[in-house]
Amino acid sequence: MNHVTLTTNEINPLPRVETKRIRPVGNWKKWIAVLSLCIICLTYLVPSLMTTAGSAWIDDSRLQALKDSSSGYIPIEEMPEHLWKAFVAIEDHRFMQHGGVDPAALARAVWIDLQEGAYVQGGSTITMQLARNLFLTQDKTMWRKMKEMAIAMELERRYTKQEILEMYLNVIYFGHGQYGIGNAAQFYFGKGNSQAIDTLTVGESAILASLPKAPEAYSPVKHSEKAMARQNLVLERMTELKILSQQEKEKALAEKIQVRQP
C-alpha cells in the first residue's frame, strides 16, 4: 500500500469563524422602549383618557391646602418677573407652549437614557414636577411617570399657566428643609415675605432657580463654588432665550451675593 505524505503547506484548513457573543437586551432598554411607545400613544392618541385618569388622581384638598397654607405662600404677582422667568428658562423653556407634557423633552430624555444605559433623565415639565410633588412619590417607575403625565394634562386643563407656575414655585424643595419660594428666599437671603421678595436681584433669583435640580448639591451654603457655576448656567440660559441682555447678565454675575448662614 502506498502512503501519501502531505506537507503542512498542502493542507488547507477550514477558515476559523469567529462568532460574536449576542448580549441579551437589558431590562432598562425594554423599559425605555415600552415607555416611548406609551408616551407616543398616550400623548397623541388618547388625551381625553389621560385627563380623565388625571382627574381621578388629583386630590383637590391638597391644592386647596397649598393655597390656604400660612407657611409663606407667595402669589406670583408679588414676585419679580425675572424670578419666575429664571425657573422657566432652566427647568422648562417651552412651558408656555406645551399642554403639560413636552414630547421633545421626553424624546431627548429617552435618547440620553439610551446613551447612558440607565434612567438619568425624566423629561418632566414644570407641570409634571408639580404633579409629582403634590400627588405622587419620587419613585422612578414607568407607572409613576404615566400618572405624572396624566395629572399634568388635567392640571393644564383646569388652571392657567400663571396659576400652575405659582403653585409650582410654592411647593418645590430648595434644600435645607425649605419648601416653597418664600421660605427659600427667606432662608438664603432674608427676603421671604411678600414685600421683601420683590427685592430679589437677578443674581439671587438665578441661584434660587438653580436649586430644584439638586438642592443639596448646589446649595450656596454648603457648596458655594458649585452654586456659582450653576448660577452662571441659569444666567447663560436666560441670555440665550433673550430674557436678559448681555449687559444684564454681566451685571448679575458681578453681584456680591450675600448668603445667610443658618
Is the alpha carbon torsion for 188, 191, 197, 200 positive or negative?
A: negative
For cell 440660559, name the residue. Answer: 237
* Partners of 173 in beta bridges: 179
Residue 11 CA: distances (Å) to CA of 1, 2, 6, 7, 27? 22, 19, 7, 7, 48
b/e sequence 125-138, b meaning 16+ C-beta within 10 Å: bbbbbbbbbbbbee
Per-residue pLDDT tens digits of the chain, which is 262 residues long: 454 454 445 445 555 545 555 455 456 677 777 777 666 665 565 566 666 666 777 888 888 888 776 568 899 999 999 999 999 999 999 999 999 988 887 777 666 666 655 555 667 899 999 999 999 877 777 788 888 988 999 999 999 999 999 999 999 999 999 999 999 999 999 998 878 999 999 999 999 999 999 999 999 999 999 999 999 999 999 999 999 999 999 999 999 999 998 7
